[in-house]
């Protein structure tokens, strides 16, 4: 037992250090680097000693302060969040099975989702809830006007591809659809591209621009921690910041904030590449999207924190894209992920066991 605990502790330290190294590299790319004052450092460390019992690396606070110009002691260090906090909120051994994009239709059958052409789960093909052969899967995809092909177990936009198929030949360097299936190999999903509301499409016509919500469940109450919108750049299919997109906060009234942030080292922007001014731009059906996410979160008993990606359809209907059991924190766009007074919230979290020990 001691050996297992020691191994878990080592893995936690390695994980936290890996995120420390990543944020340090991002910090170096910033054009403006702001220093924390002695009083600010004292305030940050005093807060974290009270709530988690130890000091934290200050690089995340330095990065976010430098990037946004806004100081807060309540920024969440991502290394601590990843290695300690999220494992106390979510039951990690259940994560991969629940968050598989291929099971979303079974988990949330009553919410609007993109039409699915085929799924691949552990090398097996499925369509319309039934197992099918590889040959039938290929036959079903001979002619597709506009589809999205993506891995079902990965996040952050990895492997997402927009696909058109005519007589079995795709727009992807002339490869046949079966060649794409071979390249993805296993665990992927092919869906119809969302036809989005004109106000969402105007932000960047090439990508499905999604609303990202972070929700937290406490008993029967689901609270919205924050909302941001992710917008693709000109000609880009993916809206994730990690894949080149930009993001900005969504205010409680459904309007956008003034600035959007992209990759570190890039200037914050006030307009999209399509010329839309962000500040005050109204997002359609925002309240409906939030209420839908809250309702769905109650169906996830093993996960107290969850991220939700929704598009808005042509008629203003919320369209579920995916959910994430191990979400990133959009603190550049929004601010401190758990708000400006998170002490009671974090103390409650730290009463729970860290399930990453079981996951490892």
Q: Is the pLDDT of residue 9 over 70?
A: no
Which is nearest to 127 in space by CA: 189, 61, 55, 52?
189
Q: Which helix (H) or strand (E) holds 29?
A: helix 2-29
Q: Give the model's confidence band at 77: pLDDT under 50 very low, under 70 low, under 90 confident, else very high.
A: very high
Mean pLDDT of 345-352: 94
At residue 243, the pLDDT reads 61
Two tokens, residue 263: 């990759």
Please indicate, yes or no, whether the overall pTM of this predicted structure exceeds 0.85.
yes
Q: Which helix (H) or strand (E) holds 228?
A: strand 221-231
The per-residue pLDDT for range 177-196, each reduced to its tens digit, is: 999 999 999 999 999 999 99
Question: What residue spans define the domains of the chain?
Answer: 2-90+347-359, 93-105+196-325, 115-192
At residue 236, the pLDDT reads 80
Mean pLDDT of the chain: 93
Q: How far apart are CA 290 and CA 284, in angstroms?
A: 12
For 93-105+196-325, the fitting CATH number among 3.30.470.20, 2.60.120.10, 3.20.20.70, 3.40.50.1370 is 3.30.470.20
Q: How far apart are CA 49 and CA 298, in angstroms?
A: 32
At residue 235, the pLDDT reads 79
The per-residue pLDDT for range 235-275, each reduced to its tens digit, is: 787 766 656 789 999 999 999 999 999 987 778 999 999 99
Q: Which CA distances in Å does 353 have to 5, 85, 92, 348, 356? A: 13, 10, 11, 11, 9
List CB contacts of 234: < 8 A, sequence separation 6 or more: 204, 206, 273, 274
């Amino acid at each position: 037992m001691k050996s297992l605990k020691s191994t878990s502790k080592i893995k936690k330290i390695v994980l936290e250090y890996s995120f420390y190294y990543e944020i340090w590299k991002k910090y170096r790319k910033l054009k403006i680097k702001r220093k924390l004052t002695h009083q600010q450092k004292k305030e940050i460390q005093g807060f974290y000693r009270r709530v988690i019992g130890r000091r934290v690396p200050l690089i995340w606070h330095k990065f976010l302060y430098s990037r946004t110009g806004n100081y807060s002691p309540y920024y969440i260090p991502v290394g601590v969040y990843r290695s300690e906090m999220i494992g106390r909120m979510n039951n990690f051994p259940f994560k991969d099975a629940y968050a598989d994009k291929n099971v979303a239709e079974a988990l949330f059958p009553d919410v609007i989702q993109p039409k699915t052409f085929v799924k691949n789960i552990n090398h097996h093909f499925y369509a319309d809830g039934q197992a099918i052969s590889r040959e039938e899967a290929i036959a079903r995809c001979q002619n597709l006007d506009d589809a999205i092909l993506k891995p079902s177990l990965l996040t952050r936009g990895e492997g997402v591809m927009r696909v058109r198929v005519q007589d079995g030949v795709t727009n992807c360097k002339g490869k046949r659809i079966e060649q794409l299936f071979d390249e993805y190999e296993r665990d992927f999903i092919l869906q119809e591209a969302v036809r989005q509301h004109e106000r969402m499409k105007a932000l960047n016509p090439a990508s499905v621009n999604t609303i990202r919500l972070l929700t937290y469940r406490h008993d029967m109450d689901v609270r919205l921690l924050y909302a941001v919108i992710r917008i693709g750049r000109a000609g880009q299919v993916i809206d994730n910041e990690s894949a080149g997109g930009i993001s900005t906060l969504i205010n409680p009234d459904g309007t956008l904030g003034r600035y959007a942030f992209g990759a570190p080292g890039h200037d914050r922007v006030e307009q999209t590449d399509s010329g839309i001014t962000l500040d005050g731009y109204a997002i359609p059906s925002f309240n409906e999207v939030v209420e839908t996410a809250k309702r769905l979160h109650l169906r996830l008993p093993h996960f107290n924190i969850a991220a939700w990606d929704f598009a808005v359809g042509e008629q203003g209907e919320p369209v579920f894209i995916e959910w994430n059991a191990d979400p990133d924190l959009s603190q550049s766009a929004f601010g401190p992920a758990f708000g400006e007074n998170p002490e009671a919230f974090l103390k409650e979290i730290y009463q729970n066991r860290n399930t990453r020990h079981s996951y490892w």
